[in-house]
Amino acid sequence: MRIHSPRKGQAALEFIITYGWAILVVIAAIGALTYFGVLNPMRWIPDKCDFQAGLTCTEGKADAATASVYFSLYNNFGEDISSAVVSLSMEECQEQSIVIDGVSANDRFVSNTGGQYLVFTNCALPENGIAKGRVSIEYIISGQSTSHNATGEIRFAVEGKTPPTPPPVVCGDGICGIGENCASCSEDCSCTSGICCMGLCKASCGGGRPGGGQKERPE
């Protein structure tokens, strides 16, 4: 008859207790690092800003703090262009386009070998996330009338922190908030003197006509 030694059972129990806690600590640490995006494999993939022949992108970034995507674009077609429309298609950004026609002093892209920084705003970029999208460019070579098309792909690790969502503006809360005026919310933005003329407190509304009788709000 085999008799099990109580010492062996106790040693096994101590082993499980000791290393079990260590395993739980490791699992918790991995969970925390994953939650904060440190272990996100996409974070270790290098940024990408690639365009087809004739176009060069040297740098770019996605900034959650400004809700914007930036990248540089250089004209290496070997010729000047008369105009270009650069459009960004990205899940986190509103569909938008930038027109480059040489009217602005910053429109250096129209010149051969010229480049400029393009900024696309209104992008809901997630902290510690990845912003990736497709860029379409429609351009016309100087002296020609036919338009040409080019494409590119961008992918940037999101930098910065997403700004907090401002509280909603509510008429009647006693605060004259952004977007409110004496016409849209006289309860919060009443005039203490003068009258309300198209949302502004004035002594009179053009020609001395009264504009509603609200009082001007004190400074």
Query: CATH code at 106?
Result: 2.60.40.1940
Q: What CA–CA distance (Å, rounded) separates 62 from 118?
A: 12
Pair 81, 75: CB distance under 8 Å:
yes
53 and 32 within one domain: no
Query: What is the dihedral angle through the alpha carbons of 25, 30, 35, 37, rounded to the nearest 10 degrees?
Result: 150
Domain of 25 in residue numbering reads as 13-41
Residue 3 lies in a domain: no
Q: Which tokens in the block code for residue 43?
A: 């974070």
37 and 104 within one domain: no
Residue ranges of the chain with per-residue pLDDT less than 50: 1, 208-219
123 and 32 within one domain: no
Q: Mention every residue, 6+ apart, whose C-beta is less than 8 A from residue 61.
A: 47, 69, 70, 71, 156, 159
CA 168 to the chain's CA centroid: 20
| Predicted local distance difference test score (pLDDT) of residue 9 | 62
How many CB atoms are closer than 10 A to CB 188?
19
The closest alpha carbon to 113, from 151, 147, 70, 79, belongs to: 79
Residue 8 lies in a domain: no
pLDDT digits over 85-134, tens only? 999 999 888 888 999 987 777 788 888 888 898 999 989 998 888 899 99
62 and 119 within one domain: yes
Look at the alpha carbons of 118, 122, 128, 134 in this order and tell me if their dihedral is positive or negative. negative
pTM over 0.85: no
155 and 173 within one domain: no
| Predicted local distance difference test score (pLDDT) of residue 27 | 79
